[in-house]
């Protein structure tokens, strides 16, 4: 599909829906963590989704490119993917959904900065930088007024979520700057799922796997595999292959807001006036990040 220079209406709608799914996913991970150990959950999810994606690739006749220019960045991305989700799932175990979400979705900062140096035509400008800052302030405002009812935040969990964000940014940047971007989205996802499963499942065997799983845990886990990983991330890589990385990454600021919203609806976390203020700030920030004014820095 032809690459586009900015986010259009189709891209915006797809990204908003995807961010809502990711926000809901944070709550799902928190719930499933009560029945499965975080690293085991991440590895098992990669294995289950990897099998489904492989079946999909075979059905569509999509070949998994194993040539060196694709294989090397593919392995690197798979390792980043494994570290990203092992850390994210562990972070949600230690801290609240809201705090983990906000720190994890600092990813746009790292993508925008990396794209400025690594991707021609995606340099930051004054308007975009201010938009990123404004959107960042919006997500911080969303957390004012306490931690909610899901438990005390942990500094360790916060740091883990922040490191996971850099891994997500690395995936986006490696994809855009190597030949890995030339393969189909489903093949890109298969690389990450296969490699992360190979890493995470043996690692999870060093500790507990299941704790006290229930039917609810397995139901939520299945929905994550199908809708978040298989459908959601294939869509993410399609968007990444069509739209500018720094522009689309700014939409990630919506995910923690959805996370806070779903945390309120499902986990009983507090929803206050600051959420509405944050939504306004994030919306303005996204518009500014998508500005095409030539004010290079």
Across 178-187, 247-256, 279-288, which has the greatest mean pLDDT? Answer: 178-187
pLDDT at 250 over 90: no
Each residue's pLDDT tens digit, 17-41? 988 998 899 899 999 999 999 999 9
The answer to whether the CB of 95 falls within 8 A of the CB of 33 is no
Domain segments of the chain as ranges? 9-289
Taking the complete model, does pTM exceed 0.85, yes or no? no
Rounded-to-integer distance, Cα 229 and Cα 17, Å: 14
Measuring CA to CA, how many Å separate 107 from each of 136, 152, 187, 213, 250? Answer: 11, 24, 23, 32, 9
Which pLDDT score is estimated for 270? 67
Each residue's pLDDT tens digit, 118-136? 888 778 788 888 888 887 7
- Between 194 and 240, residue with greater pLDDT: 194
């Amino acid at each position: 599909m032809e690459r586009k220079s900015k986010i259009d209406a189709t891209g915006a709608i797809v990204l908003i829906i995807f961010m809502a799914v990711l926000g809901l996913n944070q709550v799902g991970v928190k719930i499933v963590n009560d029945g499965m150990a975080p690293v085991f959950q991440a590895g098992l999810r990669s294995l289950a989704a990897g099998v489904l994606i492989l079946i999909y690739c075979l059905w569509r006749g999509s070949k998994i490119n194993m040539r060196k220019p694709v294989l090397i960045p593919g392995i690197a991305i798979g390792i980043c993917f494994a570290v990203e989700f092992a850390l994210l799932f562990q972070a949600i175990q230690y801290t609240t959904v809201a705090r983990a979400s906000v720190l994890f979705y600092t990813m746009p900062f790292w993508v925008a900065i990396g794209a400025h140096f690594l991707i021609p035509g995606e340099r930051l400008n004054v308007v975009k930088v201010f938009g990123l800052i404004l959107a960042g302030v919006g997500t911080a405002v969303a957390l004012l007024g306490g931690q909610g009812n899901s438990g005390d935040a942990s500094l360790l969990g916060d740091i883990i979520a922040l490191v996971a964000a850099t891994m997500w940014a690395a995936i986006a940047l490696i994809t855009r700057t190597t030949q890995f971007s030339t393969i189909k989205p489903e093949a890109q996802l298969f690389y990450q799922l296969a490699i992360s499963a190979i890493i995470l499942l043996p690692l999870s065997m060093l500790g507990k796997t299941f704790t006290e799983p229930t039917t609810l845990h397995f139901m939520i886990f299945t929905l994550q595999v199908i809708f978040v990983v298989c459908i959601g991330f294939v869509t993410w890589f399609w968007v990444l292959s069509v739209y500018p990385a720094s522009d689309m990454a700014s939409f990630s600021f919506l995910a923690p807001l959805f996370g806070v919203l779903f945390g309120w609806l499902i986990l009983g976390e507090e929803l206050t006036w600051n959420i509405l203020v944050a939504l306004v700030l994030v919306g303005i920030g996204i518009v500014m990040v998508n500005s095409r004014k030539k004010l290079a820095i």
